[in-house]
């Protein structure tokens, strides 16, 4: 299965939140599935961890990301307009519209704890459902 990992999958682990163990177990399935991440996810994690002054955690995340060798997907500036329709149609914030657009463009399933994706035609799967 080709899967786009949403930001919150990583934040659960990095911030030791409620679904950290489930997320970690899911990430260990790299041989069973094809994982992808968006550049927006990396930037979002950087923003959150810098705000919390957790530079060490951000550095460790980048090291882990490199060892996982996940393909990093992005939208070109002219493709950013593709985020507008899903944002208005499904009432998504920019971050969710960006992830949704990446998933549609690259034919990926979204893996997330964010229920906002449930409103979309793309939907989402939780790690436990994979």
pTM for the full predicted model: 0.93
Determine the pLDDT at residue 110.
98
Percent of the chain surpassing pLDDT 90:
89
- pLDDT tens for residues 16-66? 999 999 999 999 887 889 999 999 999 999 999 999 999 999 999 999 999
Phi and psi (nearest 5°) for 107? 55, 60
Q: Please, are residues 95 and 87 in contact by the beta-carbon 8 Å criterion?
A: no
Average pLDDT, the chain: 95
Determine the pLDDT at residue 18.
96
Q: Please, are residues 94 and 83 in contact by the beta-carbon 8 Å criterion?
A: yes
Tell me the pLDDT band of 90, cut-offs 50, 70 and 90. very high
Tell me the pLDDT band of 118, cut-offs 50, 70 and 90. very high
* The CATH homologous superfamily of the domain defined by 2-125: 5'-nuclease (3.40.50.1010)
Tokens of 119: 């409103």
Q: Please, are residues 40 and 112 in contact by the beta-carbon 8 Å criterion?
A: no
Determine the pLDDT at residue 31.
81
Determine the pLDDT at residue 32.
85
Tokens of 95: 């971050």
> Does 124 score more than 80 pLDDT?
yes
């Amino acid at each position: 299965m080709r899967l786009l990992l949403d930001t919150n999958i990583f934040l659960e682990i990095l911030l030791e939140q409620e679904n950290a163990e489930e997320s970690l177990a899911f990430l260990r399935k790299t041989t069973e599935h094809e994982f992808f991440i968006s550049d927006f996810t990396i930037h979002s994690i950087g923003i959150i961890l810098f705000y919390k002054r957790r530079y060490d955690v951000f550095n460790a995340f980048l090291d882990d990301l490199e060892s996982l060798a996940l393909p990093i997907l992005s939208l070109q500036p002219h493709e950013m307009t593709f985020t507008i329709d899903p944002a208005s149609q499904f009432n998504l914030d920019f971050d969710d519209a960006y992830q949704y657009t990446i998933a549609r463009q690259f034919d990926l399933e979204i893996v997330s704890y964010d229920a906002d994706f449930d409103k979309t035609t793309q939907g989402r799967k939780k790690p436990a459902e994979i």
